Structures are given as structure tokens and as C-alpha cells.
Amino acid sequence: MTRPSSRQPRPPSRQLLVPLYEHPAERPDAWRRLIAAAPDLYGVVLNPASGPGAAPDPHFAEVAGRLREAGVRILGYTDTDYGRRPHAAVAQDLLRYRDWYGADGAFFDQAAADAGLLAHYSRLAVAARAAGAGTVVLNHGLHPYPGYLDFADLLVTFENSWAAYENAEIPEWTAHHPPERFCHLIHGLPETCAEAAAELARQRGAAVHCAVPGTAPHPWDALPPFLEIPR
């Protein structure tokens, strides 16, 4: 993976939602830089084991504590398998994130997008609130039926490569809602395009975003380019 030049300037404060799917014991410097960027962060997705895992991980508990001290939202990663995962299993994940890591938000990954599963995800949002989640994020990865905005705080309406993002189309209904309700997640970002990605997200009505140089199949092993610069 290509790393950006150390001469790249640090951009102004912005709303970054960062899913860093790397273990703190293996990438301590990356986690240190992420925590130091607290003023720029909307939140951080905590993902110890494609979910909270079977037992608390002390390394993730440590970085979660440091994020809380820095005033950063901690969003517990929970796979919903496009509505196929049982409600009870998702609810258990939510409680584990709360009890083990002090998470104050939920990041529902692989969220369905069609209207037929609105009731299912509404119940999951209720379960998240009951487990102490002040922020509920649905990662559809594309633009869903607009009704999902009725119970989620933030919808991830794009998750794909920079090449796909350059030509992505945004449905008109999103313009009727505040940009703070939408997030775009972009990977495969050329190192010179960080500012272009931020500006394009803004133009497309997404106040929250994250753009990284990482590529499939594991793009979220990387930080946004300006955070890769040692501080």
C-alpha cells in the first residue's frame, strides 16, 4: 500500500467516520494517530472480531478508553447480514460493546436497503438505544429507501472505491435532508486526492466521510492520508 508523502499538509477539521479494522497491539501507532485526531472525528468504528468477539479484548478496551477520554464517539461494529442475522444475536453484540468497551453508538454493517425490512431495522435501532447507543449508524453502502432516516442518525450511502465514487450518482431525495445525516466511505484513494474526496463528499451532500488508500479485500487497514503522517 502506498503511503502519502510526509510533506502533505494536514487539512482543516472535518467530520471523519473512521473504521480502522486493525488490532491495536499490531498497529499501535495508527491507533495513536487516530486518537490524536479527535477534533476531526465524527466517530470511530470499533471492530475487535467482526463484532465484539467472545470475550473482552484488553487492547481494544484500552484504546476505547482513550477515545472516550478524547471525547470521540465509539461505534460498535455489528454485522446484520442484510437483515438475516437474528435480532437476539445483534442485541447481544450491542450489550457486549456497551459492557466491555463503553461504546456509545452502534454501527450496523451490511444493512438492507429496501423498504421491506424497515420494521426489522427499526427494532434494532430501539435495541441499540436501550443498550445506551446515542448514535445509530446504518451502513447500507448505497442509497436505501428514505424511510431508514426515520430511526437512524446517520446513513452510510456509499462504500466503494474512489474510481466508483468519481462517477457515482446521488438521488434527489437526499437533498431534502441535512448533510449531517449522510456518510460516504471511500477506499482505493490516490494519495493526492484526499482534498478532492472531502470536497466531492461535501458537494454530494455528505457532511461525514472517510477516504483511505487501502484496497480490497481489506481496505480498512488504512487511515485517511493526513492521519498517516506521524505527529
What does the pLDDT average to over 68-94? Answer: 98
**CA 68 to chain CA mean position, Å:** 16
Q: At what angle do helices 58-69 and 28-36 cross, to 10 degrees?
A: 20
Q: What does the alpha-carbon distance between residue 201 and residue 60 come to, in Å, rounded to a whole number?
A: 30
Closest alpha carbon to 136 in 71, 183, 185, 201: 183
The whole-angstrom separation of Cα 116 and Cα 145 is 9
Reported confidence tier of residue 9, pLDDT bands at 50, 70, 90: very low
The CA-atom distances, in angstroms, between 95 and each of 5, 115, 125 are 41, 27, 13
Assign 229 a pLDDT band (cuts: 50, 70, 90). low
Average pLDDT, the chain: 93
Using the predicted structure, report yes or no on whether residue 8 has a pLDDT greater than 80.
no
Its pTM stands at: 0.93
Question: Residue 124, class by beta-carbon neighbours within 10 Å (0-12 exposed, 13-18 middle, 19+ buried)?
Answer: buried
Residue pLDDT, tens place only, 113-155: 999 999 999 999 999 999 999 999 999 999 999 999 999 999 9
Percent of the chain, pLDDT > 70? Answer: 93
